[in-house]
Amino acid sequence: MKKVVSAVVTVIFILSVAVVVWAGIANTKHNLSVTGPGTIKAVSETRICVFCHTPHGASPARPLWNHTLSSQTYTLPTSSDPQWSNLLTTVQQPDGDTRLCLSCHDGTVAIGSVVNLPGPAGGAGTISMQGTAGGLMPPAAYGFIGTDLSGTHPVSIAMNDALINDKNACTQTGAYTLQYPPGGGAVRLRPTSNTYNGQPGQLITTPTGFTYNGGVQCTSCHDPHIETTDFLVLGTGSPDPTKGHPGNWSALCDTCHPGTCP
């Protein structure tokens, strides 16, 4: 019964924010319905949320998740890669929100593949898409990540006091210092079961009383519903050569990395 009540509450919650979310997402590439602005979109399906959410018969992954998950094992960033030479964490396989993103972005599961098709029949099936490579995200697509995550900021990493202390001890010249993103801000720690030095991520309590162990996930930096460049929660697309990258994401990075070690 508790489960049913919480499911109903979640459905009401989703419906009540639907209008707000709809307004943001409709003009983005995450509008995968036939009205979407991107090249990858449905042949005829008009619903927007269905590719990712369903009110009924959802996958056990939250929140009311509808997209078929990927079962890939990923290549992960390690400290032997020059780009990540100062990495203290041993990156573990993705979990939580990151697996939701990778269910389309790793290019191994059809974009239209859902747990519960829209309409009265329902059930698992695939919504017909255009602009795909045999239903999959094409490797040449701007949004393609693939199964090699070694070029992406480490994700599904637990962030806790031990990691922050170790980073801020500054044993490596040029390493980034580390701090928690401020509570209630745009950059958020998201649930992960992974650990650092055997310890879980910082215990976080949401305003509605849920608790979880926090870490860095794709959704710490991206919100898949908002109308910003690359769905970034902070930062702009303008160049910032001082940080060695073509876009100005200083505000985003500085939220967790306030400085570099001497």
Structure tokens at 185: 């801000």
Contact 169, 156 (CB under 8 A): no
Q: Is the dihedral of CA 156, 160, 166, 169 positive or negative?
A: positive
How many residues sit in the footprint of ligand HEC (CB under 6 A)?
69
Q: Please list every residue from 88 through 117 that binds ligand HEC, using CB under 6 A.
A: 88-89, 97-98, 100-105, 111
Within a 10 A sphere around the Cβ of 239, how many other Cβ atoms?
11
Side chain identity at residue 116, one-letter code? N
- Minimum Å gap between C-beta 94 and ligand HEC is 7
The reply on whether position 233 binds ligand HEC by CB under 6 A is no
Q: For residues 15 and 123, which CB has a smaller minimum distance to ligand HEC in the complex?
A: 15
Question: What CA–CA distance (Å, rounded) separates 19 from 21?
Answer: 6
Question: Which residue in the set 51, 107, 115, 201 belongs to the binding site for ligand HEC (CB under 6 A)?
Answer: 51
Question: Which residue in the set 45, 54, 58, 67 belongs to the binding site for ligand HEC (CB under 6 A)?
Answer: 67
- Minimum Å gap between C-beta 136 and ligand HEC is 10
63 cis-preceded (ω within 30 degrees of 0)? yes
Question: What CA–CA distance (Å, rounded) separates 162 from 170?
Answer: 13
Question: Which residue in the set 55, 170, 247, 251 belongs to the binding site for ligand HEC (CB under 6 A)?
Answer: 247
The reply on whether position 69 binds ligand HEC by CB under 6 A is no
From 1-9, 115-123, 136-144, 197-205, give the range in contact with ligand HEC by CB under 6 A.
Answer: 136-144
Contact 38, 130 (CB under 8 A): no
Within a 10 A sphere around the Cβ of 241, how many other Cβ atoms?
8
Contact 250, 235 (CB under 8 A): yes
Q: For residues 213 and 220, which CB has a smaller minimum distance to ligand HEC in the complex?
A: 220
Question: What CA–CA distance (Å, rounded) separates 189 from 169?
Answer: 22
Structure tokens at 90: 């041993």
Question: What CA–CA distance (Å, rounded) separates 2 from 86?
Answer: 46
Question: Which residue in the set 160, 176, 194, 195 belongs to the binding site for ligand HEC (CB under 6 A)?
Answer: 176
From 1-9, 117-125, 148-156, 197-205, give the range in contact with ligand HEC by CB under 6 A.
Answer: 148-156
Question: Which residue in the set 107, 136, 154, 213 belongs to the binding site for ligand HEC (CB under 6 A)?
Answer: 154
The single residue listed with the structure tokens 């269910």 is 103
Contact 7, 56 (CB under 8 A): no
The reply on whether position 220 binds ligand HEC by CB under 6 A is yes
Q: Could you list the residues that contact ligand HEC (CB under 6 A)?
A: 14, 17-18, 21-22, 25, 29-30, 32, 38-40, 48-49, 51-53, 63, 67, 84, 86-89, 97-98, 100-105, 111, 137, 141-143, 145, 152-155, 157, 159, 167, 175-176, 178, 181, 187, 216, 218-225, 230-232, 247, 249, 252-253, 255-257
